[in-house]
Structure 1
């Protein structure tokens, strides 16, 4: 019986040590890549304040962004997953424009089947690629130039509607519908 108990303790200690080493390995990802990063909390990463309802996820990314003003990128950990906050405008341009096809599966906040699930930011794979192609054809530089004056007229009308109703309660639905 003592032998079984000793073996069980040995297995438990070995397993605990293995899990600990794996966690250290996960949280050394940015260090191995020589990228500045926020120090994570084991198992939770940098999202402890989010779980405590002190910060939003955006606040965590903002903290990472402002913590290293000289760096082009900053690493954070979403629980066990390493994520990158990009600070450099040229790199952002490359990701969003030139190399956009390589970044088709972005992080999604929610995919609950609601209306927002069908936006370009929530879709993945071939569905994303198909919608992106359709949207790109609508927003060429010539089409944007053609729309510019109409957009100016709409914003002027919206501004005047709001100015005319400054002292009244405003039903935003009615103002945006005009």
Structure 2
């Protein structure tokens, strides 16, 4: 039985529509979005995302990417981005990839991912069954989460969950 998805244990909220020109729900993750280390030779670029359908009262957004199938006991956080302004409706390909983070709106904050960096880190599963990569957009009732970029993904996730008005996701898979 596969590991539960990160949103399956969270309180129920309305759904956002999340789409991407780069990743499709249920499809294989393109090598552009795979890590470029740990034996991988991908592009390590964050995918293009766009969203719609946020409820009234949305004051900001957060974007996360989580692999619930990583053999860690807690999954693996690949991307933790928050404090996106309420007028943000998407991110271009590579917006989460440093050092310049072109395409990120002013004020957006990256927290540490499980690679220990403050950016998008692509897929890098061990050999075996494919892993799922859950790209989630959270509509928030606050404009700032009130946590810093050194916060762990769990602390950021706690604050995201406490302030989520709606969420949606796209789930891709990748394996070697």
**Shared fold (TM-score, shorter chain, > 0.5):** no
Provide TM-score, normalisation by structure 1: 0.25
Provide TM-score, normalisation by structure 2: 0.25
Task: Please say which structure displays the higher CA radius of gyration.
Answer: 1
Higher relative contact order (CA 8 A, sep 6+): 2
Q: Which structure features the higher share of helix residues?
A: 1
